[in-house]
Structures are given as C-alpha cells and as structure tokens.
Amino acid sequence: MNAPVPGALTSSLLYLDGVSVSFDGFKAIRSLSLTIEPGEMRAIIGPNGAGKTTMMDIITGKTRPDEGTVMFGGSVDLTRLDEAAIANLGIGRKFQKPTVFDFHTIEDNILLALKSKRTVLKTLFWQTESVQQKRIDEILGIIKLADKRERLAGSLSHGQKQWLEIGMLLAQDPKLLLVDEPAAGMTDGETAQTAVLLKEIARDHSVIVVEHDMGFIRELGVKVTVLHEGSVLAEGPLDQVSANERVVEVYLGR
Amino acid sequence: MITRFLLSNMDKRGYAFLAIVAAIGLLVPLANLLMPAGSPFHVSTATMSLWGKYLCYALLAISLDLVWGYCGILSLGHGAFFALGGYAMGMYLMRQIGSRGVYGNPVLPDFMVFLNWQELPWYWYGFSSFPFVMLMVLLVPGLLAFVFGWFAFRSRVTGVYLSIITQALTYALLLAFFRNDMGFGGNNGLTDFKDIVGFNVQAQGTRAALFAMTCTMLIAGFLLARGIVTSKLGKVVIAIRDAESRTRFLGYRVDRFKLFVFTVSACMAGVAGALYVPQVGIINPSEFAPANSIETVIWVAVGGRGSLVGAALGAVVVNWAKTMFTSGFMAPYWLFALGALFVFVTLFMPKGILGTVQGWWEKRRKPEALPAAEPAPAE
Amino acid sequence: MRILPSLLRMLALAMTLAFAPAVALAQSGDDAFARLNADSFSDTARAIDILVQSAHPNAAVIIEALADGRLLAGGGAVAVKTKEGGFLDAKTGQALAAAPAGLNSVRLNNNVRRVIQGALGGLGLINPDPAKRVAAAEAVFRARDVSVLPVLEAAIAKESNDRARRALREAQAAILIVKTDAPPFDRIAAVDVLRERGDQDALATLRALPGDATPGLKEAQARAISEIEGKLALWRAGQNLWYGLSLGSVLLLAAIGLAITFGVMGVINMAHGEMVMLGAYTTFVVQELIRAHAPYLFDWSLAIALPAAFIVAGAVGIAIERGVIRFLYGRPLETLLATWGISLILQQAVRTAFGPTNREVGAPSFMSGAFELGGLAITWNRLWIIVFAALVFLALLAILKLTPMGLQMRAVTQNRRMASAMGIRTGRIDALTFGLGSGIAGLAGVALSQIDNVSPNLGQSYIIDSFMVVVFGGVGNLWGTLISAMSLGVANKLLEPYAGAVLGKIALLVFIILFIQKRPRGLFALKGRAVEA
C-alpha cells in the first residue's frame, strides 16, 4: 500500500536533505539528511538539544526550515504545507507530553482522530456510520480503554493518556507516524506493552520513534539514527551504533 | 435531517429551557393583552418590554458563549455585532417614519434634514423593505465577522491578542458611528420610531408580538447553537479550545472552524440587536462602547461559560439585578456591585452559577474523580 | 543683499522726513485741539496725527484718554479725566480744580480707534525700553496707519537695537504696502522685507496690497506669498510633528507601565488606566493640601505629587496583585475580566469620593505658558512632559538592566520555573513588578493631570490606546514600546489634518488590527520556541 507514487522523485516515503533551521542565531538543525522507506520503523536517539523535536516540527509543518528539501511520498514538498494539510496527507504525530482532549470522552477523542473528511460542513452534519463505529470499538480494544469509553480523557492516568494518544494515531491511519518518547513516564510493564503495540502498528505503517530509553529501543529492534547538534552522527543497527566512538562520547557516556 | 440536527442529543436541561422560554413567550403576551390592568396576573407593557430586553441579551449571551465557552475565543467586541444588527433594524424603522418626522421630509430621516443633506446616501437604499432588512441584520454583522475573522484566524492571532483587537474593532466602530457624516444619526443615533411592518411600534399589541418574537428567536438561537455544539463540529471546536495545535495536527483546519463559529455567532448577535431596538425604542453609538461588550462577557461567566442555558440565565440574572439595583437608593453603587461580580466570579465561580450547582449535584451523586482541571484557559 | 541699497535709500528718506517737519508742525499743535472740538470723526483722527507728528508733550496722555473715552471737549476747551477721577487741562497738562462744565466725551468710531492704535504705537516707538519699542512696532505693523510713517522713519534712523530696528523696518514695510503713493521701488523693497519676516501676519499684510499696484510689485507680492506659504506649510508640518511627539510621549507614559505588567508577567491589567487616574487624583489632593497649608510650595506641587502618586498607585497595584491576580496566573482571559471588575470599582470609588465632575489641577509657573521656536509654538507643559517621559523611560531601563530586582524580573520573564528553582521568590517579584508597573502609571497620571481632564473616566480613555501601543511594539520589549508610542503618536497627528481627528484615529486602529494579523507578536517580537509557551 505504500508503493511509490508514479513520477516520484524518490522511492522513499520521507526524504529530508540538507535541512537547516535556526532560532535567533541558534542553529537547531544543520544540514540534516534522513530517509525513511515505506513500511520502515526507525528509532531516533540523541542528547537534549540534538534537534529531535525540531525535526518533527519541520516534518509536521509547525516550523519552516530556512533551507533544504523535505519530500513526502516522493513528490509532495512538505515545506509548502501547513499542519492540517500535512496531517491529511497521512503524517500523524504523538507529542512528548501526552496531549489529548481532556474535556472529551475517550470515545470522542478517537472519533475526532478517525480518518474522515475534515471540512466544516462534513463535521457539522456528521453521522457516525457503523463501519466507523466498529473501527472505534476495535481501537478502544487495542488500547485497552473500551470499558472507560465514556470517561473524560482528562481523568486518565499518564500512561493511559499515552495509550489513548497512540489509539488516536491508529484512528488517523497515517502512512507515517511520528512518535515522541512514547515510553516516557511509564512503568516497566507499560513500556513493554507499548513496545509490542508499536511493533504491531509498524507492520502496516512507517514509524519514526524518538526515544531516550535504550531498553525500549532494543526491544523494538530497528535501525537507529543518532542526532547530535542538529545533524546525523551515526546510523545503523543499535549494536553497531552503540559501538561507535563518537556516539559513546556525546551520548551514551563512557 | 434538520430536525435531527437540532434536536439530537437534547438533554433534560435543554428541554426545560425550551419549555420555560416557550411558556414565557406565550403566557406573558397573553397576560399583558387579556388580563385587566388590576388583575394580579396582568403584566404591564413596560415590564414586558423590559423582559423582552433581557431576552435579547440572553440571545446575545448565547452567541458569545458559542465562541468563548466552546471555542475559547474571548471576543470583547460582540457588542459591535449586536449594535450593527440594531442599526440595521433602526434604519428600517427610520424609513418607516416617512413624512411624519419633525421636518416632514418623506424620504430623508430628520437628522439628515437637520444636517442639510439633499438625498439619501446609497447605503440607506433598500432599508425600507422589511425582507431586505432581515437579510441585512444577518449579513452585516456576519460579513464583518467573516472578514475580521478571516484575517485574524488565518494569522493565528489568539488569546489576549485577539481579545484586544476585537476590543479595538468595536472601539473603532464607536468612534465612527459618533461621526455625523457617517449618516447614522451621529451622537443621537436613531430614534422616534413609529411603525414596524405597518403596526405602531408603541402599541401594546405590537409590543406583545415583539416579545413573543424575541422568545421565538431565543429558542431558535438556542437550538441552532445547541445543534452546533453537540455535532461533531462542536467536538472539534471544543478540541480547538482545549488543545488548538493538537487539533491542527489531527488535520483540522482550525481557522475555518473558528471562522464558522465566529460568523454564526455574529449573525445571532445581530438578530438579538435587531429585536432589541424596537423594544427599547432607540439605538445610538454607545451600544458600541467596549464596556458593553465586556459586560456581556460577565453575563456568560456568571451563568456558566460552556453552557448555553447558563449563558442565557446569566444574562437575565445580571440584567435583572442591574434593574433592581439602579432603580433604588443603591443606584450609585451599582458599579461596585458589577465590579465585585467580575472579581468574584473569576476567582470563586469559574464555572458560573450553573456549573457550580451542577458540580455540587454531581459530587453528591457520584463522588468519583472527574477531571480536576479548571475549564481550560484558551491559550 | 539686493535689498541693501534700497534700505539705505529708505533710511535717507526717513532722516530727511524726521527733521524737516518738526518745526513746521510745532505751531499747528493748537490746530489739534480745535479739531478735537469739532465733533467730527475725521477731524478727531487728523487731530491725533497732528499731536503725534508735532510731538506734543501731552500727546500720550491725551490719546490714551481718548482711547478710554476719558477725553472731554467743548467750547474750545479740551480736558482729560484721569483714571483716578481728577481733571487736567489737555493743552498744558495742569490739574484743574473742578470738573469743567459743558464738556462731552470725544466720540470714537472704528477708524478713529485704528488711528489711535497706530498713534499709540507711534508714540511707543520712542520708548527707552527696546522691548516696548518692538511691541510698538508690532502694533504699527498691524494697524498699517500711513500717518505714523514719518515718526516711524525717524525712529528707524535713531534705532540702535538690531531687533527693534528689524521690527521697525517691518512696520515701515507694512505701511508702504498700503501706501499707494509711495515710490514703487520702495514698495517692492517692502515686499522683500515682509517676505523675510515670513509669518502669518506678513502673509496677511502682503495680501492687503491694494489692487492698483504695478505689475512688478504684484509679481513680487505673488512670489513672496507663495514662498511664505511654502515655509509656513513646512512649519505647520513641524508643528504637527511636535504635537505627534507630544502625544507619543503621553502614550509612552500611559503604556510603559502596561508594557511591564503585560510583558514581564503576561498579565492583562484592564485596571491600568485607573492607576493613571489615581496618580492624577493624587496630584489633585497634594495640590489641595498645599493650597490650604503651604501655598508658597505650589511650584513644587508636582515634584511632591510624583513620589506620592508612585506610592499610591504602586500600593494599590500590589494590593490588586496579591489580592486577586496571583490566583489567576496562567489564565490571562480571567485576569482580564477580574481586572476589568477592579477598574469599575476604582472608578466608582473615586466618583464617590471626589464627585463625577472634572477636578481642577493647577499648573506650576514653570509649566504654564509657551514660547516660539522659529515657526513652532511650544507650550512648556508639553515640553516638560516629553522630558519627563524620556526620564521615566530611561529610569525604567536602568532598573531592568542594572538592579538585582531587574535581573530577577527578567529571569522570571524568561523562565518562571527555572527562576523559582534558583531561589528567586517569584511571588515577591510578581508583586514588585506589578507595583512598579502600577507606580509608573501613577507617575503618568501626574503628567496627564496637566493636559487632560482629571475625572473618574480619565483612565478609560487611555486603556485601549495603551494596549495598542504595547501590542504594536511587541510584548516584553521596552524599546519596542518606545518606538511604537512615538510612531503611533506622530502618525496620529500627521493624519489629523487630512482625515480629521476621529477618522485618523480609526485609520490607526484599523492599521493596528491589520498589522497584528501580519505580525501577531508586534514590531519587535521575541522569536523561537521559547515564545510558544
């Protein structure tokens, strides 16, 4: 389903090349290049300030790069689009701090995320069809919140909110998921379950995971990219990366 | 589909509100027209018009609640939309005076004759036709809101910045309408109305009909607002209020949703203003005063923002209290009371009367955890 | 340089005129008294000319009395009734024992009054005080009385003071303009003199050129008029610029406290205008106390009111912060509503205490009056307010940059949690910041009491403008506030002549509304991720 678009400039799903951005003189990203293949799951690690969140901001349209190319699906220039347009292209994002709609029920949170036409009129006269209701129920089952569906999202625990947010990503059914520290603040048990969930998602979606937790990344068992001072320091399987001298120096510690 | 849109998800409180407004709209005019003046069931025309005014304010409050309570846009300029609706109606009523004015000019309103104007300005054309005016009552505030909102929401002006520029908007209109050369009667505004659709605007029967009409429009406004906030669009709008950028990342064009709600709300405010003018008998530039718009905000806050019934209730309660206060020996202290109300409600009753009462009620019934968070600050 | 020879010629002419007639006219002094008896306006006017030209020793007394209606004539006698009620013989100046019988006041009409004005000017031309001579020359300039010309020319010949001589020459030129029988060459030279004077009066005088003038003269006149008009337009623009700076400094004073509370604390203080009002009322109270107990201190009243206003407004500000606002941090819209409520309460409190009408705040001597700078009229109060605004701005900048409190304030602005973690008592800083912002509003109130009505509504009229200034300038940036206040002030005053006061203001409001959409964070906004919070 992630077959390259005809006439595409690249076969990669996501293609970043020579991207730079600075805030008031501070270079948050410097000529960053990165490609994600269709169906791939990639872990991104790096110390604080390495530019992980800024990179996600650029991909999702929150921040415009000063220079560089950001292509999606081979032919769409993401730097020209705003957040909503990028989301509708099929890029979903989970924030570092879980952000759900506190004053909506869990079910409504999923409903809002559910893939559908996002126009004003369509939402005004919206009727949930049975296929859609089934999908909502299914997702609620996956994130294990089916029995709490009527509760307000604001009343959930931190871990449950993380899951709800992952559920919302599932409902969006994006081609590419950006997941920022999904295991932050979770118990070990929850972390393990989250890893299982992500692996399941990765079977039919491309995923970028930003994470600090090495154990979690090992559990995912995917290719790792190390960011440092806004550009790529190393790339490869976790074992190979963690053996890299420079990576050990700037990040993992001796 | 429309019925289902308007009535789906109606809760008990909504039905109670509808029933009460419908009953008032039916019984008060009857009590005014049929009961003899001495009867304890008689409602004087003055009282009826006073309550008609409150109900116009209630509609204005609902329109503001739609944008503030549900979408998190604190408009400090909603009085402007109300006043524009009012001016549209006022212009119609001026044209109905015909040659009965002081100067007896069949076309020009008195103030234009006084200013030595020779002909009707082009923007007064058409205002002698009632259907045209009905359209303008919706269109003028709606168009202003649309243009203003289109600029503001697209450039992502939010929070207090938006509040301040809405205030600047109504302030600019205030200054403009004070000018004589604008052609809206300047300082004195529009007044001395005679007829509305052929009926004497002062007559008891007309007043009763206006009152019933106000109740009808309040019901219609409530149903429309209710339909909007309970639809999926309503959920999106609440999502925007609570986490705007998250909503954007879900693929919703936040600016368009805001623009829709803001424009609909401005139209409702315009209708409220149009009903207000014939019952009060005058419209002048002071309706644009920023203080009026902020007062509207406090009605909503008192009643309970994020609840349409609450907003309407707040408008009626505060204005009733104002009448009580300012008609007695306490009159000079009304501003103390109003000021204290602002402080008290924001500090101690952030959910307003309705929210607070509901909170107690729910605590007694099921003390389990609800979200501890306050109504989320917009931005 | 071209005009020098003609001036010399005029001078020579004046000298011959000045000495020649003195003897000839001396004996005709009696003629004047006969004419004053004639009860005819034209004779009275002629009599005045004779008195002046014959340099009669009592001329000044007689003409002043005539102007006041105290000159009596009848049966050949002329008497002056003194201001004290006694009588003098007009001719000799001797006191008369009793009121002379059968005398009536000499009547006046407008022509006679004009002649009197010129004559009094002519008499003043020989006053020993140069300033008086200048004033007299100005009077002659306005009266344009041809009969004064000889005296004027005599005076020019004797004049040694440069300023007075210039004034006398201008007066002479004014007369030559209307004197149709003067040599055309002199009249063209006169046009040049007026062109050099170049003010509104010169313009009016040039326009009074009679229609019979020669083409050369007319051309010179037209050139001079267009040159003066161009110059005046430039001065008018300068004057508007000055008004703009003045308005800008007022806006700066009103907005700068708001820039602090809004910029540093993110608090929308709708009661800010009322802090300004409290400052103004403090000035009123201080002046009342001084009037009652120590009137000799009146010129110091504003200096005394400044600290008082700072303390009063600052204390009220701190009370508001501690009592209300601190419970509402992070909820800016609620803060806006609560402070609006407070503003209503403060307005009503002042209305109850001082009444709803305007209160009179006096101006100390150094703030009243005006002076001219080229073509600019500059009032002292506006000038002092600009100076004061600049001082307040610099002082505030110094507080923020140089004091430990300023450092802590900036720390709290940038990262409240971090500042708190480093041991800064953010609550105390908040209160002090708010107090500082409010106190500065109080200072603004002292200044505004000098140029605006001190009424309970004073603050209301500034609050929207102040917000516009802060928002336009960019929040959290004092220099932005300065530039914003000045540019809005100047733009407002430059627009006024074209659009009128109200439309100009509306245009600015619309401009700011559009501007905020383009740059939602103002002119000088902070950038980057830190702002998003």
- Domain positions in chain B are 2-365
| pLDDT tens column, C393-402 | 999 989 888 8
Instruction: Tell me how close the Cα of C456 comes to any Cα of chain A, in angstroms.
Output: 43
pLDDT of residue B214: 95
Query: Which site among C344, C350, C462 would you substitute to test the B interface, given the most B Cβ atoms closer than 10 Å to its Cβ?
Result: C344
What are the CA-CA distances from residue C258 to residues A127, B201, B266, C445, C463 (Å)?
A: 49, 48, 30, 13, 9
pLDDT digits (tens, 9 = 90+) for C147-156: 778 778 878 8
Where is average pLDDT lowest: B238-242, C446-450, C498-502? C498-502
> Residue B2: closest CA among chain A residues belongs to which residue?
A125
Give the separation between CA A250 and CA B8, rounded to whole angstroms: 59
Tell me the CA distances in angstroms from B48 to A250, B34, B37, B316, C389, one per residue in order.
Answer: 78, 14, 13, 13, 54
pLDDT score recorded for residue A148: 87
Tens of pLDDT, residue by residue over C127-139, are 778 887 888 888 8
> If you average pLDDT over residues A43-64, what whole number do you get?
86
Per-residue 3-state assignment (H helix, E strand, C coil) for B276-339: HHHHHCEECHHHHCHHHHHHHHHHHHHHCCCCHHHHHHHHHHHHHHHHHHHHCCCHHHHHHHHH
Mutation for testing the B interface, residue in A101, A108, A132 having most B CBs under 10 Å: A101
Cβ separation B242–A101 shorter than 8 A: yes
* Chain B residues touching A133 at Cβ < 8 A: none
At residue A45, the 3 state secondary structure works out as strand
CA–CA min distance C440, chain A (Å): 31
Q: Which residues in chain B are contacts of A92 at CB distance < 8 A?
A: 249
Q: CA-nearest residue of chain B to C336?
A: B160
Lowest mean pLDDT among A63-67, A195-199, B111-115, C221-225: A195-199
pLDDT class of A253 with cuts at 50, 70, 90: low
Q: What is the mean pLDDT of chain C?
A: 82
Give residue-wise pLDDT tens across range A25-41.
788 888 888 888 888 88
d(CA A223, CA C208): 96
Per-residue pLDDT reduced to its tens digit, B320-378: 999 988 887 887 888 898 999 989 988 888 888 888 888 888 777 765 444 444 444 33
Q: Within 10 Å of residue A111's Cβ, how many Cβ atoms?
A: 20
Please, what's the b/e burial string for C434-472 (b: 16 or more CB within 10 A of its CB; e: otherwise)? bbbbbbbbbbbbbbbbbbbebbbebbbbbbbbbbbbbbb
Q: How confident is the model at residue C445 (pLDDT cuts 50, 70, 90)?
A: very high
Residue A2 clears pLDDT 70, i.e. is over it = no
Q: Check CB contact under 8 Å for C513 and B169.
A: yes
Fold of C235-532: ABC transporter involved in vitamin B12 uptake, BtuC (1.10.3470)
Secondary structure letter of residue A249 according to DSSP = I
Split at pLDDT 50, 70, 90, the class of B228 is very high
In tens, the pLDDT along C194-244 reads 888 888 888 888 888 777 778 888 888 888 888 888 888 888 888 888 989
Percent of chain B whose pLDDT exceeds 90: 54
Range scoring the smallest mean pLDDT among B185-194, C340-349, C363-372: C363-372
Q: What mean pLDDT do residues C161-179 have?
A: 86
Chain B contact for A120, CB < 8 A? yes
Give the mean model confidence (pLDDT) for residues C284-312: 90
Taking 50 as the threshold, does the pLDDT of residue C17 lie above it? no
Beta pairing class for A176-180 and A91-94: parallel
CB contact under 8 A, B294 and C345: no
Strand partners, A26: A23
**Cβ-proximal residues to C468 (8 Å cutoff; 6+ apart), any chain:** B164, B168, C488, C508, C509, C512
CA C94 to chain centre: 46
Given pLDDT bands bounded at 50, 70 and 90, which one contains residue A10? low
Contacting residues for C428 by C-beta, under 8 A, at least 6 apart? none
At residue B289 the predicted structure's pLDDT band, cuts being 50, 70 and 90, is very high
What is this model's ipTM? 0.85
> Averaged over C434-455, what is the pLDDT?
90
Distances in Å between the alpha carbon of B10 and those of B215, B304, B361?
A: 19, 18, 20
Average pLDDT, chain A: 84
The verdict on A150 touching C (C-beta cutoff 8 Å) is no
Q: How many CB pairs under 8 A join B and C?
A: 127
How much of chain A exceeds pLDDT 70, in percent?
Answer: 94
**Which one of A78, A122, A125 makes the best mutation probe of the B interface by having the most chain B beta carbons within 10 Å?**
A125
Segment C94-98 mean pLDDT: 79
CA distance B260 to chain A (A): 8
A-to-B residue pairs, Cβ atoms closer than 8 angstroms: 89
Model confidence pLDDT, tens digit, residues B134-161: 999 999 999 999 999 998 898 888 888 8
A26 and C527 within 8 Å at the Cβ level: the answer is no
pLDDT for position C415: 76
A227: β partners: A232
Binned at pLDDT 50, 70 and 90, residue C265 comes out as: confident
- Contacting residues for B311 by C-beta, under 8 A, at least 6 apart: B58, B61, B62, B64, B65, B69, B299, B300, B303, B304, B305
**pLDDT bucket at A195, cuts 50 / 70 / 90:** confident
Using beta carbons and an 8 Å cutoff, which residues of B are at the interface with A?
1, 5, 228, 231-233, 235-236, 238-239, 242-243, 245-254, 256-257, 260, 369-373, 375-376
Segment A140-151 mean pLDDT:
87
Nearest-CA neighbor of B354 among B375, B328, B326, B327? B375
Average pLDDT over residues B112-130: 89
How far off is chain C from A71, nearest CA to CA, in Å?
Answer: 24
Confidence (pLDDT) at A5: 46
pLDDT confidence tier of residue C37, bands split at 50, 70 and 90: confident
- Nearest Cα of chain B lies from the Cα of C506 at a distance, in angstroms, of 5
Q: What is the DSSP letter of C360?
A: P
Q: How many Cβ atoms are within 10 Å of C186's Cβ, its own excluded?
A: 18
pLDDT at C22: 41
Give the domain ranges of chain C.
4-189, 235-532
Q: Which of A62, A84, A126 sits opposite B251 (nearest CB)?
A: A84
Q: Is the pTM of this model over 0.95?
A: no
Contact: C268, B374; criterion CB under 8 Å? no
- Chain A residues in contact with C529 by the CB 8 A cut-off are 23, 54
